[in-house]
Amino acid sequence: MENILKKLLNKPWIVIAVTIIISALLFMQMKQNSRMETDLDKYMPQDHPAFVYSDQAEEWFGINDGIIVAIENKNGIFNSATLDTLKQLTKRLQKMDEIEKADVTSLYTADNIIGTEEGMDVKAFYKRVPKSEEKLNELKHNVENNEMTFGRLVSYDETVTVIIAEIRDDVFTQEFYEEIHALADSYQTDDIKIHIAGRPIVEGTMALLGPADMMKMVPIVLLVITLVLFLTLRSVKSTLLTMAVVFFSVVWAFGLMATVNIPIYAVSTMIPVMLIAIGVADGIHLYSHLQLFLRENPDASKKEATLDMLQHMWKPVVMTSITTAVGFISLLTSQVYPIKYFGIFTAFGVLMAMVFSLVLIPAGIMIFGLPKVKKSKKDESNMETNLAYGFAAKILKRKSISIYVTAAIIILSIVGMQKIWINSSFLDKFEKDSEIVLTDKFINDHFGGTTTLNLILDSEGKKDVFKNPEPLKLVEKMQNQLENDLEVVGNSFTLTDYTKRMNKVLNADKEEFNVIPDSRDSIAQYLLLYEMSGDPENLNKVVDYDYAKLNVTFQLKSDNSKAINSAIAIIDSYEKDFEKQGISMNYAGSGYKGLIFTDLILEGQIMSLILSLIIVIILLSLMFKNYKIGLIGAVPITITALISFGIMGFLDIPLNTTTALLSSIAIGIGIDYAVHFIEQYRTNALKSDDMLLVAQKTMAHSGRAISYNAIVVIAGFLVLLFSVFPPNRELGALVSLNMFTSFVGTVTVMLVLLKVSNIYFKKTKS
Amino acid sequence: MKKLQITSVLIAIIFAIGFIPEVSGQSLTGEQIVEKAYNRATGDDQTSDLTMTLTNKSGNQRIRKIKQFTKDLGEVEKSIMFFLTPADVKNTSFMSWSYDSDQNDDQWIYLPALKKTKRISSDSKSDYFMGSDFTYDDLGDRKLEDDTHKLLREETIDGKACYVVESVSKDEDYMYIKTITWIIKDNFIGLKKEFYDEDEDLLKILSIKKYEEISGLLIITNSEMKNVQKNHKTSMVLNNVQINTSISVSKFTERMMMRGL
């Protein structure tokens, strides 16, 4: 290894040329082949039983997420202008390519079935926009008397009416989003306001906004990091070369991704984040060593200096990179493909950063010369050394403080972790006062809810079960309990609602018949009649062709996991009752899939965290040929992860796809700090028996580099606090926090443990 | 007896061919072709067993057997149908009177569970017939003057020479912006028909699978309507077809609906 590096040192131009050529090729691949995956369904493991069932159910019942277009008129909606807007918008939506005509529902498309003394009347609420007072009042009356419409398509206060347009899978694009908004805007007047909401909009906005915000922020992060890096390294050349390492490793990771034709997922946008945080470390440590060497040997040639740097530093650089890479590779245990890819390509990027650090930085020094060491800095460097020496001495003198404080923090963190909750909500990722959240709240205030949970009742192939009164009555009881007991459940809808409506209509619209009839023949005949006179398609959305499967849709006012779980808890309490009737229960729909998906991510995350911790301990034990070192080296990582989760618990930051992934960064960074520190400690211990001096020297060397590393990355990531997208802000805050705790953990409690364990000082116990 | 049959066949042949000499000199316009198709003789009354099979996009089927009676009384056509299966809707009956004038159809339903006949009023002939893919219009309620007809071309499909006629709706709000019909030159049976929606996208295709000569008249006994947008189809098969058996007008009353078969 060392020999190869030495040989490469003689051909710096070739090294740089080859790197640039390959990078250029990969960059071209990236430009040509990279594509962003915005369809959230693609993120889910397709073969997971819950997803398989949900996908099937979505197919059976045509369950699609709907865009909700709400038309608001404070003076009431029953006037010609508003009704005309409703008609025009409905028609325009029906004509859009992304929307099936039959999948647009509004007061304009709905059937009104009304009972009369002698029979039954099936009519559209209106076709031509009513103009006269009399006709408008008739429409108003019809809406108010139809419980399948009132409160569902028209709000109870009659100031809002909605159009629900279900969109097909895979069609949400930036253009479509803009088209919908432009369409809505074009119909706004002084009186009529149009709001757009619904899960596709939320998902789409998030899929577009998150990465877009990241792309805006990353250059600023890079700029700040470059600046702070310059302030610490005090050399333009060193700064640029270190950043070049980061840049090339990112290009190679994404280039490889494009070459093997894997799309960029939302989590992939975290790869540069990881590589920036980890990639600068190698450079900082190399240059830090170089500076210290030059301080002691001001007259050394650039080749001597570089050789010394490589000789001393290649091992820790390789060790840190390999352990970090293995930490990321442990993400392969996840069931979620985007996370597997995230793990693989980050690991690849980390290894490339290692190669570039060991090859490109020396080549750069050979070509551009050594970074200048200014004489005037002598005092400052003495001050630095004194600070490091003093700090190390204090830490070792009061080692019990470190131990107790650490123990206290661990206990506190564990307490905090109890409060952690998982959230699969998309809306919670937006600002509380953002347009999207406010619109959602507006619609939730006026209607059943923007989030749907589908319960699929399945008689396991037994036909015509759901024409029987018993199961339908049980379903109705369940619907009532959810609607009454849970604030968050606004509405529910299934075959029972049709049956009750028909029963009422056919019995002269008398309210006492708004119940499920007692005989199966009645139900069958009502349904036949509904099919014959209404739109039979409507029934297909609630019951399958054989009346063997039922789809119950619950409308929730929040997509927050706590809300969905509270509904599921009540529904599950009916499982036994349904089982007695030979009916099984399953869930479907995007809200439920999101819930399962988040669980999967976390499960995988915790698994891989534990796994990587074990691997890291083993690797460290092997590298340093001492299992105690393995355990000690894992301490900063463990503390970092614990604090990270503990603080999330205390600050009520839920675990979600972004925050969960951050535990990986704790491992990646924590291990870097620990390995560099331990390696330096070992090297110093070989030369000296004075334990304090060894600690002080290590602190002045590795401790210094680690602090630079921490300062640089923390400064960079604090920039993310100014992001407009809350998850990116959380990311910035938590990465900074992780860097800080890793750093502090390494130079305090780990140093104390190194001393206490007496490793490398076996012969001469102090 | 045999003589009678031969006579009726002869009548039918003359009936079918009868028009040809009249028009052979000049070619028919689109409107004339459609008029002949609409006015094709199908008898004064008809009794049959209808098997209606609905098939959804997953291939699941709902099969309904219905006994139906229809009688053409000139200005009004009356029909009554009784469900035979599925068992839970047995004896549910449905009656409709449809008028040649612009008057809306009168429709009644009898539900045995309710023991009452109920009048159904519906404002549109675009309603689907019994939850099938056929609308009432598709089943013959459409009037000649509702569309502008244009002969597009002549074409041979399934070995039969056909006129291809395009009919564009005069009412802009009508559910089909246009239809294209393949009408067999020989007998004016519409062999195939394509229905286009408001956006001029193909919505449905009607195919005649079988027509038989019964009592000297050509009766379509097997047809299929496929909604290509929803991938849903309805097959209608007639059995035991009897034509001109002089069904009494009193058959088509609410009392008969309640009495059942």
Two tokens, residue A326: 């293995």
Distances (CA, A) of A90 to A102, A167, B77: 11, 14, 37
Q: With contact defined as beta carbons under 8 Å apart, do A110 and A153 qualify?
A: yes
- pLDDT for the residue B141: 65
Q: With contact defined as beta carbons under 8 Å apart, do A29 and A192 qualify?
A: no
Q: With contact defined as beta carbons under 8 Å apart, do A555 and A489 qualify?
A: yes
Give, for A275, the enclosing helix (H) or strand (E).
helix A270-296
Closest chain A residue by Cα to residue B135: A532
On the question of pLDDT at B4 being above 60, the answer is: no
Give Cβ neighbours of residue A450 (< 8 Å, ≥ 6 apart): A68, A197, A198, A199, A440, A443, A444, A555, A556, A557, A559
* Mutation for testing the A interface, residue in B120, B199, B225 having most A CBs under 10 Å: B120
On the question of pLDDT at A87 being above 90, the answer is: yes
For all residues of chain A together, what is the average pLDDT?
86
Which of A566-570, A755-759, B174-178 has the largest mean confidence? A566-570
On the question of pLDDT at A476 being above 90, the answer is: yes
Least confident of A97-106, A484-493, B250-259: A97-106
Question: In the CATH scheme, what is the homologous superfamily, with its name and number, of domain B2-259?
Answer: Lipoprotein localisation LolA/LolB/LppX (2.50.20.10)
On the question of pLDDT at A294 being above 90, the answer is: no
Two tokens, residue A563: 């809300």
On the question of pLDDT at B20 being above 50, the answer is: no
On the question of pLDDT at B84 being above 50, the answer is: yes
- pLDDT tens across A336-378, in order? 888 889 899 999 999 999 999 999 999 988 888 887 765 545 5
On the question of pLDDT at A729 being above 70, the answer is: yes
**Rounded Cα distance, A706 and A713, in Å:** 11
B122 touches chain A (CB under 8 A): yes
- For the stretch A296-301, contacts whose Cβ atoms lie closer than 8 Å and that sit 24 or more positions apart, written own/partner, are A298/A373
Task: Return the SS3 of A349.
Answer: helix
- For the stretch A82-88, contacts whose Cβ atoms lie closer than 8 Å and that sit 24 or more positions apart, written own/partner, are A82/A161, A82/A191, A82/A192, A83/A107, A83/A126, A83/A129, A83/A130, A83/A136, A83/A139, A84/A129, A85/A187, A85/A192, A85/A194, A86/A161, A86/A163, A87/A126, A87/A129, A88/A187
B62 touches chain A (CB under 8 A): yes
Least confident of A181-185, A273-277, A375-379, A759-763: A375-379
Give, for A454, the enclosing helix (H) or strand (E).
strand A451-458
**CB-based contact A533 B119, cutoff 8 Å:** no
Give, for A619, the enclosing helix (H) or strand (E).
helix A590-623
Is the pTM of the predicted complex or chain greater than 0.95? no
For all residues of chain B together, what is the average pLDDT?
84
- pLDDT for the residue A137: 92
The pLDDT of A223-248, averaged and rounded, is 89
DSSP-derived pairing of the beta strands A119-124 and B116-122: parallel
**Rounded Cα distance, A595 and A587, in Å:** 11
What are residue B161's phi and psi, to 5 degrees? -75, 130
- pLDDT tens across A1-55, in order? 778 888 887 888 888 888 889 999 988 888 887 777 766 667 777 778 888 888 8
Percent of chain B exceeding pLDDT 90 equals 38
Among residues A330, A211, A331, the alpha carbon closest in space to that of A268 is found at A211
**Rounded Cα distance, B50 and B241, in Å:** 9
**Rounded Cα distance, A360 and A354, in Å:** 10
- CA count, 13 A, side-chain hemisphere, A359: 21
Least confident of A322-336, A596-610, B53-67: A596-610
Burial group, residue A453, by CB count within 10 angstroms (0-12, 13-18, 19+): buried
Select from B60, B88, B111 the Cβ nearest to the Cβ of A467. Answer: B88
- Ranges of each domain in chain B: 2-259
Confidence grade of residue A543 (pLDDT, cut at 50, 70, 90): very high
Predicted-assembly ipTM surpassing the 0.90 threshold: no
The pLDDT of A412-428, averaged and rounded, is 84
Q: With contact defined as beta carbons under 8 Å apart, do B138 and B150 qualify?
A: no
- pLDDT tens across A624-680, in order? 888 889 999 989 888 888 898 899 889 888 877 677 777 777 677 778 889 889 989
Select from B60, B88, B120 the Cβ nearest to the Cβ of A545. Answer: B60
Confidence grade of residue B23 (pLDDT, cut at 50, 70, 90): very low
Residues 112-131 of A with CB under 8 A from B: 116, 118-124, 127
Among residues A583, A645, A588, A473, the alpha carbon closest in space to that of A50 is found at A588
**CB-based contact B89 A528, cutoff 8 Å:** yes
**CB-based contact B112 A546, cutoff 8 Å:** no
Give Cβ neighbours of residue A756 (< 8 Å, ≥ 6 apart): A399
A544 touches chain B (CB under 8 A): yes
Confidence grade of residue B163 (pLDDT, cut at 50, 70, 90): very high
Two tokens, residue A606: 């915790």
**CB-based contact B173 A522, cutoff 8 Å:** no
The pLDDT of B26-42, averaged and rounded, is 84
On the question of pLDDT at A173 being above 70, the answer is: yes
What are residue A9's phi and psi, to 5 degrees? -60, -25
Two tokens, residue B14: 């003359």
Which positions in chain A touch B199 (Cβ < 8 Å)? Answer: 95, 101
CA-based diameter of chain B, in Å?
60
Which positions in chain B touch A87 (Cβ < 8 Å)? Answer: none
Q: Which amino acid is at A625?
A: K
- pLDDT tens across A594-639, in order? 888 878 877 877 788 888 888 888 988 988 888 889 999 989 888 8
Select from B60, B86, B118 the Cβ nearest to the Cβ of A119. Answer: B118
Distance from CA of A534 to the nearest CA of B (A): 8
Q: With contact defined as beta carbons under 8 Å apart, do A248 and A340 qualify?
A: no
**Rounded Cα distance, B69 and B51, in Å:** 14
On the question of pLDDT at B21 being above 60, the answer is: no
Among residues B162, B16, B86, B4, the alpha carbon closest in space to that of A525 is found at B86
**Residue A338, preceding peptide bond in cis (omega within 30° of 0):** no
A522 touches chain B (CB under 8 A): yes
Give Cβ neighbours of residue B165 (< 8 Å, ≥ 6 apart): B30, B33, B34, B149, B150, B151, B152, B180, B181, B183
Least confident of A325-339, A482-496, A511-525, A569-583: A325-339
B129 touches chain A (CB under 8 A): yes
Least confident of A129-143, A165-179, A572-586: A165-179
Confidence grade of residue A147 (pLDDT, cut at 50, 70, 90): confident
On the question of pLDDT at A301 being above 80, the answer is: yes
Confidence grade of residue A435 (pLDDT, cut at 50, 70, 90): confident
- pLDDT for the residue B126: 59
Two tokens, residue B12: 């039918």
Could you tell me how many residues make up chain B? 261
What are residue B143's phi and psi, to 5 degrees? -105, 150
CA gyration radius, chain B: 19
Task: Estimate to the nearest angstrom the gap between the alpha carbon of A18 and the chain centroid.
Answer: 37
- pLDDT for the residue B18: 45
